Amino acid sequence: MGKELVTSFMTLLVTINPISNVPVFLALTGGKSAKERMHIALRACIVATIILLFFLVIGQIVMEAIGISLNAFRLAGGIVLLTLGLKMLYGEMGEGAAAHPSGDISVFPLATPMMAGAGSITAIVVLTDNYKFTLSEQAGTAGVLVLVMAISFACLVAAGPIRRLIGDTGANVISRVMGIVLAALAMQTIVNAVKDILPAGTIP
């Protein structure tokens, strides 16, 4: 179970990518007090956690109800995660995310789509496959999700110092490294789905 939890942690960490949210958070909360920024960060993380837990609990049930097999979702999800990883690798993430926000910025764009976006939703459904993971393993993944969201909250609260410490170059390097890791995880997801679809022994 330990290996699965580590995989879940790494997958959620790179799809949610707390460091990459720091520049956009600073742009959206410019001029606000430290207390206001903390409130916005807390609300964003809570909303994102609720969204992801919702998909963890009933995401697969909804898919099956509308006739989508988990292997089909895993293949589609692997492609989504691969695309996200490549965007991170080539520095295309976050473009336009802070442009003309309307309404509650803690909900949009911070909670969704930045933290609870297509990549993290896909990841949470794949990581809690009802046919592969027991209830205790799914609960462990839920705990890992809460841990990653706590890390995200800490990064948002410390956004100013983090930005000053690592600078734009450091943020770009971290984003690209995470992009490579996410692309590799995405390919593994696709390979595992293909293995389940093809006859046993076709792929070693």
How many domains are contained in the chain? 1
Q: Which domain covers residue 28, as residue numbers?
A: 2-197
pLDDT value at residue 93: 55
Look at residue 152 and tell me whether its pLDDT is greater than 60: yes
Q: Work out the mean pLDDT of the chain and round it to a whole number.
A: 85
**Between these two residues, 18 and 164, which has the higher pLDDT value?**
18
**pLDDT for res 203:** 62
Q: For residue 97, what pLDDT is reported? A: 47
pLDDT score recorded for residue 114: 84
pLDDT digits (tens, 9 = 90+) for 84-98: 778 878 876 555 444
The residue-averaged pLDDT of 146-170 equals 90
pTM for the full predicted model: 0.77
**Residue 79 — pLDDT band, cuts 50, 70, 90?**
confident
* pLDDT at res. 99: 46
Q: How confident is the model at residue 100 (pLDDT cuts 50, 70, 90)?
A: very low
Categorize the per-residue pLDDT at 186 as very low, low, confident or very high, splitting at 50, 70 and 90: confident
Calculate the dihedral angle through the C-alpha atoms of 93, 158, 4, 57, rounding to the nearest 10 degrees: -80
CB atoms closer than 10 angstroms to residue 64? 13
Residue 130 counted as domain residue: yes
Confidence of residue 118 (pLDDT cuts 50, 70, 90): confident
pLDDT at 204 over 70: no
Alpha carbon distance, N-terminus to C-terminus of the chain: 23
Specify if 202 maps to a domain. no
What confidence score (pLDDT) does residue 33 get?
Answer: 87
Residue 203 lies in a domain: no
Is residue 42 assigned to a domain? yes
Inter-residue contact 9 to 124 (CB < 8 Å): no
> Tell me, what's the pLDDT at 149?
97
Query: What pLDDT does residue 199 have?
Result: 77
